[in-house]
Amino acid sequence: MTSEFAIAVHALVYLNHKQETLASEELAKNVCTNPARIRKVMAKLKKKDLIATKEGQNGGYHTSMEAADVNLAMIYDALETEAVCPSWKSGNPDMDCMVASGMADIMDDIYGQLNEVCREKLSQITIEDIDRKIFQGKKGKGK
- Domain of 10? 3-83+125-135
Question: What confidence tens digit (pLDDT) does each residue in 77-113 have?
Answer: 999 999 998 888 899 999 999 999 999 999 999 999 9
d(CA 132, CA 134): 5
> What pLDDT, in 10s, does the model give residues 110-134?
999 999 999 999 999 999 999 999 9
Confidence check: pLDDT of 142 > 70: no
Indicate if the pLDDT at residue 139 is higher than 70. Answer: no
In terms of DSSP bridges, do strands 51-54 and 60-63 run parallel, antiparallel, or are they unpaired?
antiparallel
Give me the half-sphere count of Cα atoms (radius 13 Å) on the Cβ side of residue 90. 8
Task: Supply the CATH number for residue 61's domain.
Answer: 1.10.10.10
How much is the pLDDT for 141? 55
Closest to 73 in 3D by CA, of 35, 134, 37, 125: 125
CA distance 17 to 86: 35
- Tell whether 20 is covered by a domain: yes
Per the structure, the count of domains in the chain is 1
For the entire predicted model, the pTM comes to 0.87
Give pLDDT tens digits for 39-55.
999 999 999 999 999 99
How many alpha carbons fall within 13 Å on the CB side of residue 66?
A: 2
Tell me how far apart the alpha carbons of residues 33 and 37 are, in angstroms, rounded to a whole number: 7
